[in-house]
Chains A and B, each alone.
Chain A
Amino acid sequence: MTHAVVVEDLVVRYGDLVAVDHVSFTAAAGEVTAVLGPNGAGKTSTIEVCEGYRCPTSGSARVLGFDPQRQQTEMSKRIGVMLQEGGVSPSAKVADVVRLYCDLYGKGVDPAELIEQVGLGERVRSNFRRLSGGEKQRLSLAMAMAARPEVAFLDEPTSGVDITGRQTIRTIVRDLAATGCAVVLATHELDEADKLADHVVIFDRGRVVADGSLDELRRGHDEIRFRSAPDLDVGALAATLHVPVRAVGRGEYVVDGGAAHVAAVTAWLNDAGHPLEDLRAGKQRLEDVFLRLTGHEGST
């Protein structure tokens, strides 16, 4: 596997604040790597170091073998960047912006085709300020794609985007990875990472608290979810099953255990005269993995 991005022992400080605290991870070509964490976890600072925009306090980042700070000019020809927000003047027209970025990268990308690809064909003469949140994000994505990037850094690409727009962006991101591009996707939206990522790096308070594929992060953390009466005696059920059981909402419960416990749960509820609805057995959701590792609720 080719590692397009290698971050080693990276530290970024702003005065007394340690925004990134000895972070290490890699991102492979042809994969979507989700850098996941709550706001202020250090995701954007880490990505800005990789883009060559910010200098690290210590440690290093390598992108396609380049030092982002010392070889930014060479590196920038081969990477695409999508900022968390902004990057375009409100009065700039879609067609002019895409044309400019296609010319800046000089990779022969046709601006008209790119505009159609991101679904902005009908907004080509519109000013940036007239675009919806989703359209702005798609324009920003087009600016990154104008580079025909080998590495794409996408910072919160679906933030503020409606369901249809999210679907379009997900398709584009998957297609980008399918061309061999290493997509580094910073997001605090767990659902987005769950749907797109091959590899997840979870940040919390400037540190990496988990790093692996979704399957790896969920391995050993099977669970059973079900709905029943709101006043269930979870202590009694846990004693019967010999595994932890917890209520996660009104009438919603989680058993920390695999499918082997399904029969026991069903029997116990039946004996106790409680209803059983929506029983699902399988791997933990990414949201639960995140919660377990960080103690924070993530956005979904």
Chain B
Amino acid sequence: MSPLRAQLRHEVSTTLRNGEQLLLTLIIPVLLLVFFSLVDVLPTDTPEPIDFLAPGILALAVMSSAMVSLGIGTGFERTYKVLKRLGTTPLGRGRLIAAKIIAVVVVELVQFAVLIPIAYILGWSPTDPNWIAALAAVIVGTVAFAGIGLTLAGRLRGEINLAALNGLYLVLLLLGGMVIPFTKLPGAVSAVAKALPSGALADVLRETLTSGGVRPSTSWAILVAWAAITPIAATRLFRWE
């Protein structure tokens, strides 16, 4: 078995066996999807809440695994010198990061395999969805969020990083257009929210899965910009110890 495969298997099994990670990456998105689909309390501006919620919750799933789960796990591994130790093995630093990113993608596939059928069961019926474009958006979003998670993980102490990422998760959940439409936010807040990676990803997913288009939009540009900037920040700011 190659070092990359060995580390990838370890990363995926560790994530899927960790109760806190499962809560964050799977249980909370499922609960939000089910609860707000069945209890019509959100001002979603759509006849069926699920049509607004499903793309937003998929964006939330990406943010949970690529930013929060990856960032918290890596931050604690840095604190506990796990990264330092792995850096002296044949795995090396490059393949360690590669294994972590691939593990995030694997976890996302598990998330989608659970969330999309539940959304369909709850009555989601996307009109003319462009799944290829949606997949592209998920990949770009994963890069953007992973960059944020690794930047914080590589600079902050484990506990501070944990608090920062959980706080950021909550802010982006509320302002990210995932469960609350931008139109319901105050004007200035709405403008900021649209510039956030969470808002951009939710908007792009909603566009690709409901209107079937890949037409250039501001949200695509914002998402691509975040995906270009945050990995560079992570590369420059990350400290292995």
Interface residues of A (CB under 8 A from B): 51-53, 72-73, 76-77, 79, 81, 83, 85-92, 96, 100-101, 103-106, 143, 147
Contacts and interface: CB of A to CB of B under 8 A. Distances in A.
Contacts of B5: 103
Contacts of B6: 100, 103-104
Interface stretch (B47-55, B83-91, B188-196): B83-91
B120 interface: no
A53 B87 contact: yes
Contact of A53 (B10, B14, B80, B88): B88
A87 B92 contact: no
Interface in B1-42: 1-3, 5-7, 9-10, 13-14, 18
5 contacts: A72-B92, A79-B88, A86-B82, A103-B5, A106-B1
B85 A81 contact: yes
Nearest to A90: B80
A89 B91 CA distance: 17
A79 B88 CA distance: 9
A50 to B, nearest CB: 10
Given A96-B10, A103-B3, A104-B7, A73 B81 contact: no
A89 B92 contact: no
A87 B81 CA distance: 5
A81 B77 contact: no
B169 interface: no
A86 B2 CA distance: 25
B145 interface: no
A143 B88 CA distance: 11
A22 B163 CA distance: 43
A76 B84 CA distance: 13
A81 B88 CA distance: 7
B154 to A, nearest CB: 16
B182 interface: no
4 smallest CB-CB distances across A and B, nearest first, come from A103-B6, A87-B85, A86-B81, A81-B88
A204 B117 CA distance: 66
A91 B21 CA distance: 13
Contacts of A89: 14, 76-77, 80, 82
Interface string B114-127: 00000000000000
A88 B3 CA distance: 17
Contacts of A96: 10, 13-14
Contacts of A101: 89
Contacts of B90: 73, 76-77, 104-106
Nearest to B92: A73
Interface string B79-107: 01110111111111000000000000000
Contacts of B89: 76, 81, 101, 104-105, 147
Contacts of A87: 80-82, 84-85
Most chain B CB within 10 A, of A85, A103, A147, is at A103
Contacts of A53: 84, 87-88
Interface string B45-84: 0000000000000000000000000000000110011101
Most chain A CB within 10 A, of B77, B85, B87, B88, is at B88
Contacts of B76: 89
A176 B224 CA distance: 52
B7 A100 contact: yes
A105 B3 CA distance: 7
Contacts of B18: 91
A86 B80 contact: yes
Contacts of B77: 89
B81 A76 contact: no
Given A87-B80, A100-B6, A52 B88 contact: yes
A83 B80 contact: no
A76 B76 CA distance: 24
B101 to A, nearest CB: 18
B169 to A, nearest CB: 21
Contacts of B81: 83, 85-87
Given A103-B1, A106-B2, 16 more contacts: A53-B84, A72-B92, A73-B92, A77-B90, A83-B85, A86-B85, A87-B81, A87-B84, A89-B77, A90-B80, A96-B10, A100-B7, A104-B86, A104-B91, A105-B89, A105-B90
